[in-house]
Amino acid sequence: MESNLIKHYSIFIRPISIIAHLIIINAIFYYFGYYDNVFFVAFLNVAWLVTAVFSKIYFFHRTITVTSVVRQLSIHFAIFALIVMSYYAVGHKVLVLKQFMFLLLYIVLSVTLFRSLYFTALRRYRVGGKNYRRVVLLGSNKSLKPLANFMMNRSDFGYKIIGYFSDLTNPKLSYEEPADRAFFKKPNGDIPFLGTTEDLKTFIEQNIIDEIYCSLSETDDQTLKQIIDLGDKKVISIKLVPDSKDVLTKNLKLEYYGFVPVFSLRSFPLERPLARYSKRLFDIIFSLFVIVFVMSWVIPILFILIKLDSKGPLFFNQTREGLKGETFTCFKFRSMTPNSRSDFDQTVKNDHRITRVGKFIRKTSIDELPQFFNVLMGTMSVVGPRPHMPNQSKIFKSVVDKYMVRHFIKPGITGLAQVRGYRGEIETEKDIIQRINADIFYLENWSFVMDINIIIKTFIKMILGDEKAY
């Protein structure tokens, strides 16, 4: 994995908050004597998590306001209370309303207090230089000055401006004097000037960058296209800063940093918290079902068959590239004889390395079942672009212009490209282009119905067999 794909985001922020909230509500319900049975405990926790999907209380945007937090918590507590009361009503159980209201008050106060302390600690953590996003600015006119001041004065939001680039020889720029570059000020010094637009292209290739903010008035169409292409290849978020609050196109996402309007490019459905959490909840439930009811008996059978067929382990582990280009260990049932070229050579038709049992489990895609452990761990999704080996990605991104765009979402066990027949050996440039186009279409047009449709088609192919599954 290339160095500029390394991110500074903490993976613990949301899980810590979720676990703490669950501990709080369970402790309070237990204290008030509302722990009826195991089913109620499970119902209580699921109700809290499902409600969180709709209230978005675990959507930790860096610039979220106190008003938004209060609104989210209010919606969450109201829905959660109604769900719990409905449980007692449907079950014809006795509910002492006065005691229940005190219980809810304890939950509201406890969760709100924890939320406040947690956000305070998180922002202090960012002020200390942790959990930050590395940012560069393209332009030096007045549209970027308020944004730069906002980021510099609110270090608790965790934006670290590395520097800015500007090309004042461009006739579309607002400023003509080099001295205009020096207006960027902050309490402890100037923001470094790093060069021209051409220098930015080189800088992106050689440095770790998370986001690029471009001034629309200083960036011509050709330059912007080049920056967007580089951002796609390096998995860098590109954001546009206009000189006015006019929305240029309905496909752009408008956000506000204080009073500064900023447009986000490459917006897609799974950026929405509700969509993302729903997909993750489905992944957890579906993977648990497969692991408990399918793999529990498949593993012993395959262990015997694979061991009798050839020497080597039951599982085959391989490094693949996933979300944001980060590598992870992908699990599979071993279908080949152990060899030193497995991480470099793609599988071809009639590959001599494939064992007799391997031919069957590859034909039926049973060899992919262990990846449900990856799904449960969060490194993969049930549906998404198939993960590639790092050396393959290095080759493919030199061939396909938008190859790295597929890394904006988690890889999947199956995907749109696979059910459309784009799988198996890659023999021509057209083969990989078709797959990437299908992956990007899925990313930009995702829906829960699409996921279900892909899963059904995958199941049918497993039963009937896929001629390209070898």
DSSP 65-106: -HHHHHHHHHHHHHHHHHHHHHHHHHTT----HHHHHHHHHH
CA distance 77 to 47: 11
Residues of the chain predicted below pLDDT 50 = 1-8, 170-188, 245-251, 470
| 133-267: CATH topology | Rossmann fold (3.40.50)
Indicate the pTM of the whole model: 0.59
Give me the pLDDT at residue 454, please.
93
Q: Decide: 356 and 309 in contact? Cβ < 8 Å.
A: yes
Q: Ramachandran region of residue 226, left (φ > 0), alpha (ψ -120 to 50) or beta?
A: alpha
CA distance 164 to 180: 13
Beta strands at 327-333 and 315-321: parallel, antiparallel or unpaired: antiparallel
CA distance 73 to 357: 54
Which tokens belong to 214? 């471009």
381 φ/ψ angles, rounded to the nearest 5 degrees: -120, 165
At 319, which helix (H) or strand (E)? Answer: strand 315-321
Give me the pLDDT at residue 247, please.
42
Which tokens belong to 118? 């947690």
Spatial CB neighbours of 326, under 8 Å, sequence gap ≥ 6: 1, 5, 6, 7
Rg over alpha carbons for the chain, rounded to the nearest Å, is 26
Domain-by-domain residue ranges, the chain? 3-127, 133-267, 273-464
**Dihedral in degrees, nearest 10, Cα atoms 301, 302, 303, 304:** 60
Residue 380, classed as helix, strand or coil, is: coil
* Other residues' Cβ atoms within 10 Å of the Cβ of residue 59: 18
DSSP 98-164: HHHHHHHHHHHHHHHHHHHHHHHHHHHHHHTT-S-EEEEEE--STTTHHHHHHHHH-GGG-EEEEEE
- 322-352 b/e with 16+ CB inside 10 Å = b? bbbbebbebbbbbbbeeeeeeeeeeeeeebe
Short-list 210, 257, 261, 268, CA closest to 240 = 261
234 φ/ψ angles, rounded to the nearest 5 degrees: -100, 5
Which tokens belong to 368? 């992919």
Q: How buried is residue 118: exposed, middle or buried, by Cβ count under 10 Å (0-12/13-18/19+)?
A: middle
Which tokens belong to 268? 């897609």
CA distance 312 to 79: 53
Q: Decide: 421 and 415 in contact? Cβ < 8 Å.
A: no
Q: How many helices, marked H, and strands, marked E, lie in the chain?
A: 15, 13
CA distance 453 to 342: 32
